[in-house]
């Protein structure tokens, strides 16, 4: 993780337009995406590489019944690195078994979104100067939010204090709670944002992942909607993150406050994904 964050800093200062000249990225998106797909593709172009791929699986031979394994095996013979987003948990692992080149998980169902986590860590470090000893709240859809799962596990590598805020029906999966306990991370569970806002340095908001809800009765709690009035008691250094897209969980008037850091977070996808591509495809990234 540290190597990606350090390399991303290099690319944030200066692009290297010929570094990946001749390399091909296969961008395989079986689920909708704005940030992840376009930032990966932009990062590859900015490093001089080329991109093949699809953003609509119904235009591929999956539509004719080809398996994910076979598709990824073949695409692996056309590219030097693959990025896959898929609605099925464990799909990236299947792709990694099938394809010879490296496969990057760009989100597999409600499971994980590890490259988003690297962007989140980079943004936390950029805004606070460190990740260590921060008080960090993760709020919203903790059950289906794959960015929450990946970020919680990554943060468990650091000495941090965590606060989880959600309604009971969208609470953090037990396996992640067990992992945090095993790592000795101090955390608490809440139902209202107001209970934690004055205590935290980072507030990580997420939307309800309605596309993964088994029942439409899984309503998002009013207690997890952030209003500008909530910020009256916030610490000065509080920064609000959100992997986006945003629905109603952050009031738009917050965008203009110094607390809002989510659009900067989205922009940080470029240097972080440049770092990932370069580290996988080059033995050495020049400073
Ligand atoms: N953060 C994120 O994964 O956004 P997209 O769904 O637009 O890629």
Closest ligand 1 atom number to CA of residue 32: 6
pLDDT score, position 219:
63
> pLDDT: is 227 or 284 the higher one?
227
pLDDT score, position 222:
85
Catalytic one of 113, 143, 207, 273: 113
pLDDT score, position 168:
93
> pLDDT: is 218 or 107 the higher one?
107
The pair phi, psi for residue 50, each rounded to 5°, is: -115, 160
Whether the pLDDT of residue 217 is over 60: the answer is: no
Active site residue 130: no
In the predicted model, what is the mean pLDDT of the chain? 95
Q: Which of 44-53, 138-147, 215-224, 278-287 shows the lowest mean pLDDT across its residues?
A: 215-224
pLDDT score, position 126:
98
Residue 203's nearest CA partner among 218, 180, 225 is: 225
Give CA–CA dist 285/47, Å, rounded: 11
pLDDT score, position 214:
74
Residue 286: band (very low, low, confident or very high) from pLDDT cuts 50, 70, 90: confident
Query: What is the Å distance from ligand 1's center to 97 Cα?
Result: 24
Structural tokens at position 101: 């080149």
Average pLDDT over residues 12-31: 96
Is ligand 1 within 6 A of the CB of residue 49? no
Whether the pLDDT of residue 72 is over 90: the answer is: yes
pLDDT score, position 218:
55
- Model pTM score: 0.95
Catalytic one of 13, 64, 284, 287: 64
Query: What is the Å distance from ligand 1's center to 53 Cα?
Result: 17
Question: 191 CB contacts (<8 Å, ≥6 apart)?
Answer: 165, 166, 167, 168, 221, 223
Which residue's CA is the nearest one to ligand 1's atom 3?
Answer: 36
Whether the pLDDT of residue 209 is over 90: the answer is: no
pLDDT tens, 163-190? Answer: 999 999 999 999 999 999 999 999 999 9
pLDDT score, position 216:
58
**Secondary structure letter of residue 58 according to DSSP:** G
pLDDT tens, 115-142? Answer: 999 999 999 999 999 999 999 999 999 9
Active site residue 64: yes
């Amino acid at each position: 993780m540290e190597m990606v964050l350090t390399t991303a800093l290099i690319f944030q200062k200066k692009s290297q337009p010929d570094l990946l000249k001749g390399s091909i990225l296969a961008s395989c998106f079986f689920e909708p995406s704005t940030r992840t797909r376009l930032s990966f593709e932009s990062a590859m172009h900015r490093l001089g590489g080329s991109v093949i791929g699809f953003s609509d699986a119904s235009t591929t031979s999956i539509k004719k019944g080809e398996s994910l394994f076979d598709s990824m095996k073949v695409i692996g013979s056309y590219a030097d690195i693959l990025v896959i987003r898929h609605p099925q948990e464990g799909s990236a692992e299947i792709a990694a078994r099938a394809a010879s080149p490296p496969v990057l998980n760009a989100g597999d169902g409600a499971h994980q979104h590890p490259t988003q986590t690297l962007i989140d860590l980079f943004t936390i470090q950029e805004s606070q100067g460190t990740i260590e000893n921060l008080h960090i709240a993760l709020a919203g859809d903790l059950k289906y939010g794959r960015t929450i799962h990946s970020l919680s596990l990554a943060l468990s590598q650091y000495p941090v204090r965590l606060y989880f805020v959600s309604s009971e029906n969208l609470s953090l999966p037990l396996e992640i709670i067990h992992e945090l306990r095993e790592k000795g991370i101090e955390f608490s569970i809440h139902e209202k944002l107001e209970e934690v806002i004055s205590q935290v340095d980072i507030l990580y908001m997420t939307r309800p992942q309605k596309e993964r809800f088994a029942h439409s009765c899984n309503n998002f709690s009013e207690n997890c909607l952030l209003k500008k009035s909530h910020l009256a008691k916030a610490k000065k250094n509080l920064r609000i993150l959100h992997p986006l897209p945003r629905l109603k969980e952050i009031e738009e008037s917050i965008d203009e406050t110094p607390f809002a850091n989510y659009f900067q977070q989205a922009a940080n996808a470029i240097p972080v994904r440049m770092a990932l591509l370069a580290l996988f495809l080059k033995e050495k990234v020049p400073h």
